[in-house]
Structure 1
C-alpha cells in the first residue's frame, strides 16, 4: 500500500514568524469577557514574540493597562494577495500580558519599530496616541497546514520565509499576467478539482499553494519544490520544473 505522505512545508514557528512579519490586519481582544475586538492604530510583532501596539490615549484599554498588566490576545490575520471568497489564509494568536508604556519607554519602543518598519503613525505617539506592550505567554498559528501552539522561545528561534516581502507582488502578477502558468499548474490537480476556479494562494521556500474554488467548497493544494529554495534564481528553476514535472500533494 502506498504511504500518503504530507508534502514538505515550513515549520509552524516559521509560518507564525511569516504571518507576523507580513503585518496583516490585527485585532486586540481583552480577556474581560466582553468579546470586544479592538483594532489598533498600529501593531508590530518583534522577533521574540512581544508586540508593540498603538492605541488612542482615550481608549479604555490604554487606561486599564496603565501602571498594571492585564491579559489580552492579539489576533493577526494573513490575507491572500488576490481576491478570494474566503480571503483569510492563516491566523496568528498571541496571548499574554498587556501594559501601557510610560513616555520614556514609548519613545524607545517607537524607535525599535521604526528601525524595522518606518510608519508615519508612530509620529502620533505623545500627540493623542499611546504605546502598549504585549508580552507573550503563548502563541497559536492556524492555516491549511494545521493548528499548532508555540512557546515564545520557539517562535523567537525561527525566521520568516525568505520570500515574505515579495510574495504578494509575485502572486498578484501571476494572477493578472500569467494565467497561462496557472493553467499549467492546474493540470496537475486531482481530477475531481480540475473544474474549479484555480487561484494562486501562497508561495514559500518549500513550494506553491493553490486555492481551488468549487461550487461546494474551497480546497488548498500544495505543490512542493524538489528542494527548499532561498533565492529568486532557485525559485525560477523550480517553477520551470513544476510546469513540466509536477510533484503534488493535496490538502483537503
Structure 2
C-alpha cells in the first residue's frame, strides 16, 4: 500500500509547505500563507495591505476571483525523493463575520499563527473550494478528481517526517540499517551500501540501498495505515519506538 494521488495532493496543500497563488488576469505569482480545512477547502491568510489583497479584489459586479494554488514538495532529507507538485484551483471569496471567525479556527488547527488574532483588521481570510486538482511528478501531470481530493486525508506523518528522518540518521543509523537489511534480505557489504529510510508516510517506509550512483529503492509496508505519530511505536523497531513515544509525550 502507498498514498494515492489524491492523498498526495491533499498532503501537499495541507498547509505545511510554502505556496504560490496565481490569480487570473493579474500579475504574480504571490507567496501566500494557506491551509486546508477538514473538507479540503483552501484558506488563504492575506495581509490587508499587499499585492495579493489587491489581486484578490473582485471586479465590479463579481464576488469571487479565479485562483490557482501551486505547492512544491520540499524533500525532508538529503537524497529523499520529492512527492512532486500540486496545483489546485477554484474561485476565492473573501470571508467576513461569523464565517471568517470559524475559518480562523480551522486555520489555527493547522497553523496557529498569532496573526490570526488580527483577522478582520490587518489580515483577511479568503477561501475556495477545489474545483480542479492536478499532481505533477517526473514531468508528468495527472488530473485528480475533485471528489476524490475532498474525500482524501493529508498524511498525518508529513509534518514530523523531517524530524523523524533526522533522528534516524543522527542517532540510530547503524541499528536501523541492520533492521532494514533483515527486512529486505540484504547482505552487509559495507557502509557505502547501507540501506536507509528516505521517506516515511502513513503506509510505510521508502528505503534507499546500494552503492552510490546505483541506488535502488524499496518500500516496507506497515501492517495498517497509521493515524498518527504515536502509532509508530507499535510498528517500528525499539530504537525508534522510544523516540516516537517521547515526541508524542512532549507534544501532548
Same fold? TM cut 0.5: yes
Alignment correspondent of 1:163: 157
**Residue 111 of structure 1: CA displacement?**
2.5
Bigger fraction of residues in helix: 2
Deviation, 1:205, is 3.1
What's the CA shift string for 1:138-177, capped at 9, x where partnerless?
A: 1123457x75322222122122334334433211111211
Matches within 5 A, 1:57-96: 57-67=48-58, 68-82=63-77, 84=78, 88-96=82-90
CA positional deviation for 1:203: 0.8
- Unpaired runs of 5+ residues, structure 1, are 1-7, 241-252
Aligned to 2:37: 46
Give CA-to-partner distance per residue, 1:197-240, whole Å, 9 cap, x none.
976431123321246798779x6723222643422244216999
- Whether the 8 Å contact between 1:16 and 1:92 is mirrored in structure 2 is yes
> Which residues in structure 2 correspond to 1:108-127 (within 5 Å)?
108-127=102-121
1:172 aligns to 2:166 (yes or no)? yes
Name the residue aligned to 1:11.
Answer: 4
State the TM-score, normalized to the length of structure 1: 0.71
- Secondary structure at the aligned position of 1:236 is classed as coil
Matching residue within 78, 100, 105 for 1:106: 100
What is the alpha-carbon distance in structure 2 between the residues aligned to residue 56 and residue 124 of structure 1?
Answer: 10
User: How far off is 1:70 after superposition?
Assistant: 1.9
Distance 1:125 1:189 in 2: 55
Contact 1:55 1:131 in 2 (8 A): yes
